[in-house]
Structure 1
Amino acid sequence: MDDRFSGAHIVKKANVYHNGQCTSRTVITAEGEMKTLGIILPGVYRFSTAAPEQMQILAGRGRYKLADDTEWHEIQTGDTFHVPENASFDIEVTELLDYTCSYGQCGGSGIPV
């Protein structure tokens, strides 16, 4: 896993959700892809998507459930999961989650890969 975005542009303004419990910064890669780098503090949160998202867990632990799922899926450092466009998901963070999210280039069932 590469730990850098070479030639990227960073949007200065933070994305802040859930009263500051979740924050991220937008990164535009040299290839024009939009990504975010973020931190989620322990707790349970709901997010909605407009575009498909691929969440890559850089550090931490928790679990997530897509809106149509009946079961939670465990996630930890090194895992990746997909969220379809125009969907929502719940995430329960048990150990501070450091993540990167890629937009519009995802597919799959939402199950970690």
Structure 2
Amino acid sequence: MPSVNQYFDNKVTSIAFQTKTLPATVGVMEVGEYEFGTSEFETMTVVSGALTVKLPNSSDWQTFEAGQTFTVDANQRFGVKVEVETAYLCTYGKE
């Protein structure tokens, strides 16, 4: 059964569900800057819009646009800048 989660004063909304192989969330981020923490390996795919991301152990910001993917290891923090409402898909764990 999907469940809805909201973060950052409802500026980030995600719906959690189970894919065939991994747990996942699909959601939308409003314009803003956010910092996320991971509890397990995450694969983020931008569905629409763009995310500018500062990955752990990096001093550079990278922009990922629709169709592009990035990963973050477990127990890490990463920054995200959103300049246009952006949809994403995130899977948790490794296959």
Query: Could you state the TM-score of these two structures normalised by the residue count of structure 2?
Result: 0.93
**More relative contact order, 1 or 2 (CA 8 Å, 6+ apart):** 2
Q: Structure 1: which 4+ aligned runs deviate by more than 2 Å? A: none
Unaligned runs of 5+ in 1: 1-9, 107-113
CA RMSD of aligned residues (A): 1.3
Deviation at 1:67, TM superposition (A): 2.9
Question: Structure 2: how far apart are the matches of 1:77 and 1:57?
Answer: 5
CA deviation digits over 1:19-44, x for unaligned, max 9?
A: 10001001112x35201010000100
Structure with bigger gyration radius? 1
Verify: 1:35 aligned to 2:24, yes or no: yes
CA deviation digits over 1:63-112, x for unaligned, max 9?
A: 00123210001111111000110001000001111000010028xxxxxx
Q: Percent identity?
A: 29
Question: Structure 2: how far apart are the matches of 1:55 and 1:78?
Answer: 10
Query: Could you state the TM-score of these two structures normalised by the residue count of structure 1?
Result: 0.79
Equivalent position of 2:11 in the other structure: 21
Equivalent position of 2:45 in the other structure: 56
Higher strand share: 2
